[in-house]
């Protein structure tokens, strides 16, 4: 990937600025509809700099995925070290995920878009699949720990549980205006609505997760 390290993610401020600019444009206007020239113009840097650091638009997209998920993985690992109970771990990761989705909405809107990308975007799809399988392995380990302790049910569909968590939060992210309208909350600010949504979805997912994993 251009001059980005392959084994260890070492980035300078210019690379991060390029990725954050591209991330917002890709999420807002669509990956295919956004050119390297558009990114350069939006960030006030030249196209040659993007090519120097990343090589191609597809490699730039792959860089965004690696950048965001590497940082998140480090934080998640630190969080899990502080917890012993398997259920507490799952609920803490869920709370963390909810918070990050609203903090980094362009990245998560971009992930939603990546899921429907055609087969020709092999590099991007492979990077996204790496993220998905890593998330599955993380949840699988926590579920197995709970099962070994006799705390969790034996027949838990882990992939479906991931779909429930991510699908619920992602749908709320892209349907905030609809939620405000049907709940007659248009008098509230966007920040007030987000605070409300994070609390509500946190409670909903906690109850759902406990119902799915805990033994009766």
- E-only strand ranges, the chain: none
What tokens does 100 get? Answer: 């990050």
- How much is the average pLDDT of 39-68? 92
pLDDT at 175 (0 to 100): 94
- How much is the average pLDDT of 91-98? 93
pLDDT at 6 (0 to 100): 38
Instruction: Identify whether the C-beta of residue 70 lies closer than 8 Å to the C-beta of residue 134.
Output: no
DSSP 214: B
CATH code given to domain 1-63: 1.10.10.60
Instruction: Identify whether the C-beta of residue 63 lies closer than 8 Å to the C-beta of residue 4.
Output: yes
- How much is the average pLDDT of 119-148? 91
Per-residue pLDDT of 165-207, as tens digits, reads 999 999 999 999 999 999 999 999 999 999 999 999 999 999 9
pLDDT at 11 (0 to 100): 80
Superfamily of domain 83-213: Tetracycline Repressor, domain 2 (1.10.357.10)
Domain boundaries, the chain: 1-63, 83-213
User: CA angle, corner 110, sides to 39 and 124, nearest 5?
Assistant: 85
Instruction: Identify whether the C-beta of residue 54 lies closer than 8 Å to the C-beta of residue 63.
Output: yes
- How much is the average pLDDT of 133-149? 94
Global pTM? 0.86
Percent of all residues in the chain with a pLDDT value above 70, rounded to a whole number: 96
Query: Quick check: 2 pLDDT over 60?
Result: no
């Amino acid at each position: 990937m251009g001059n980005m390290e392959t084994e260890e993610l070492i980035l300078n401020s210019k690379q991060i600025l390029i990725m954050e600019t591209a991330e917002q444009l890709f999420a807002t206007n669509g990956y295919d509809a956004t050119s390297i020239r558009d990114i350069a113009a939006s960030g006030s840097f030249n196209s040659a700099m993007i090519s120097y650091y990343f090589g191609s638009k597809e490699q730039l997209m792959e860089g965004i995925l690696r950048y965001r998920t590497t940082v998140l993985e480090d934080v998640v690992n630190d969080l899990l070290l502080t917890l012993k109970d398997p259920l507490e771990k799952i609920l803490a990761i869920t709370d963390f995920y909810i918070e990050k989705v609203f903090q980094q909405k362009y990245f998560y809107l971009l992930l939603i878009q990546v899921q429907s990308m055609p087969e020709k975007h092999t590099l991007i799809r492979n990077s996204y699949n790496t993220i998905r399988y890593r998330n599955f392995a993380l949840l699988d380990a926590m579920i197995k720990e709970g099962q070994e302790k006799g705390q969790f049910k034996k027949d838990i569909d882990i992939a479906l549980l991931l779909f429930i968590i991510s699908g619920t939060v992602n749908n709320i992210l892209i349907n905030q205006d609809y939620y405000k309208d049907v709940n007659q909350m248009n008098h509230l600010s966007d920040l007030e609505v987000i605070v409300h949504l994070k609390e509500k979805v946190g409670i909903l997912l906690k109850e759902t997760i406990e119902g799915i994993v805990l033994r009766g």
